[in-house]
Amino acid sequence: MNLVNPDYVEYQITPAHCRRIAERTRKTSGVQIDVTKTDFIRLRLSQRLRSLGLKDFDAYLDRLDNDTTGVETRLLTEALATHTTDFFRESHQYDWLAREGLGLLKKDGIGSRHPLVVWSAACSTGAELWSAAMMLAESEEYMTVPGRVRLLGSDLSKAILRKAAAATYTEEEISGLSAERRMRFLLRSKKLRDKSGRPYYRVEPELRSIARFLQANLLDTAPLRSETMDIVFLRNVLIYFDRETQDRVLTNVASLIRPGGILLTGHAEPVKNRSDLKTVSPSIYRKI
Ligand SMILES: C[S@@+](CC[C@H](N)C(=O)[O-])C[C@H]1O[C@@H](n2cnc3c(N)ncnc32)[C@H](O)[C@@H]1O
């Protein structure tokens, strides 16, 4: 029996445990974990072992091997994932969309004959999708009229999606937003306070009403096939994949983009040698 009742257990982890954990994470999410970071892996997972009342990492790996529902494996990848994000991260891309990108889509009737669909494909806490919503609301042509614009955020992690959908942030998390944008697009909570006593901020209801969030693994985008995307943010997630997985994910994502639609990647994620994507500038592409 592997169950214990510890107040606190300092778990021991070996390189072999780390290799098995990394292999499982790579297979299910594509994310590559550096197996030499044993302390990082141990610290990130110890809480889960404690919650399950397990005595060691061998017992945890047995749990994972017998995970018929996939829940334990999902919690593993959630615990090891990096969710770093920010409002208007790589702001030149939002500037380009407002200045040129939206005009290119408009010529194809996007936002008038067809709704404009924006997808944040590894949306983390939602800052990326809400930034796109703000940029659209600021543009004269694409006001956030229901029916004209649809916003979709997806991520592998259910826990992070709950935060994205709640659209509630601390002062620190909204540091990327100008005073004007805070005034226009956020509501300041009268009651909710963070640990330092500062208020929380929530994205205003009009923007929230055109957004939805769902769990999706970029290794298998079949559940999203009913959507045709016009602007896709696929940023700061390809870097965690090996070359083969990057190609697979790009093929999955590109297949969901309307011809002429726009793909944005992170600055460290250049897309090369693809017959389905044309480079506009580094990190901005159009579907052929
Ligand atoms: C560093 S964040 C990037 C957030 C945002 N795109 C940005 O650039 O600010 C990476 C996100 O990718 C998600 N992720 C990792 N592997 C994934 C996969 N196979 N499918 C979907 N999301 C994944 C993680 O859960 C995490 O929230």
The domain that holds 39 is classified in CATH as 1.10.155.10
| The ligand 1 atom nearest the CA atom of 266 | 8
Category of 124 on φ-ψ map: left (φ > 0), alpha (ψ -120 to 50) or beta = left
Q: Is residue 189 part of a domain?
A: no
Question: Which one of 80, 107, 129 terminates a domain?
Answer: 80
Q: Is residue 193 part of a domain?
A: no
Maximum separation of any 2 CA atoms in the chain, in Å = 66
Nearest CA to ligand 1 atom 2: 83
Residues 35, 100 within the same domain: no
Nearest CA to ligand 1 atom 23: 156
Residues 130, 55 within the same domain: no
pTM: 0.95
Q: Is residue 253 part of a domain?
A: yes
pLDDT above 80 for 142: no
For the chain, give the mean pLDDT: 94
Q: Is residue 192 part of a domain?
A: no
| 74 CB near ligand 1 (under 6 Å) | no
Q: Is residue 178 part of a domain?
A: no
Structure tokens at 285: 């592409």
Rounded distance between C-alpha atoms, residue 215 and residue 210, angstroms: 17
> Is residue 142 within 8 Å of 134, Cβ to Cβ?
no
Residues 51, 107 within the same domain: no
Domain that holds residue 48: 15-80
Question: Which one of 51, 80, 109 terminates a domain?
Answer: 80
Nearest in space to 96 (alpha carbons), one of 258, 281, 287? 281
> Is residue 269 within 8 Å of 283, Cβ to Cβ?
yes
Which helix H or strand E contains 203, and what residues bound it?
A: strand 199-203
Number of domains in the chain: 2
Residues 113, 60 within the same domain: no
Cα(113) to centroid(ligand 1), Å: 32
Q: Is residue 216 part of a domain?
A: yes
Cα(123) to centroid(ligand 1), Å: 6
Looking at per-residue confidence, does 78 or 1 come out higher?
Answer: 78
The domain that holds 277 is classified in CATH as 3.40.50.150
Residues 33, 101 within the same domain: no
If you ran DSSP here, which 8-state letter would residue 163 be given?
A: H
Residues 31-42: what's their mean pLDDT?
Answer: 97
Percentage of residues in the chain having pLDDT higher than 90 = 89
**Each residue of 251-282: pLDDT tens digit?**
999 999 999 999 999 999 989 999 999 999 99
Nearest CA to ligand 1 atom 19: 29
| The ligand 1 atom nearest the CA atom of 234 | 6
Structure tokens at 164: 């994205």
